[in-house]
Amino acid sequence: MKITGKLLIGIMVLIALSPLGLILPDHFKAGSAWGEWGADEMQKLVGYIPQGLEKMSSIWSAPIPDYAFKGWEEKGLLELSAAYIISAVLGIAIAVIFTFLIGKLLIKKR
């Protein structure tokens, strides 16, 4: 098997495992995944909002917040798992397309 085939299989396995970030915290009643805290959760955890986080949280908003589509936040675990997988596929597709376009631009310059 070629290296690209192995890479694709590895990526597909990671995509299939992506809902674990949703399922495991729910199963263990752990709350949010470590490091994925918003400003409000940070306030609860440490008692204040770091200055940089406070500034940046008003500037940047994720294209697909919480890896779910608008209106899906309160749906069941199965639907949210599907949203995680779709988000993973979209993110990987965007990264591959962006990398491919940059590669094409760099090759043309030579």
Confidence of residue 110 (pLDDT cuts 50, 70, 90): low
pLDDT (tens digit, 9 = 90+) per residue, 21-32? 888 888 888 877
Q: d(Cα 35, Cα 16) in Å, to the nearest integer?
A: 21
CA distances from 2 to 6, 92, 106 (A): 7, 20, 25
Average pLDDT, the chain: 87
**The predicted structure's pLDDT at residue 59:** 84
Of the two residues 104 and 110, the one the predictor is more confident about is 104
Q: Do the beta carbons of residue 90 and residue 36 sit within 8 Å?
A: no
Per-residue CA distances from 106 to 2, 96, 109 (Å): 25, 15, 5
pTM: 0.76
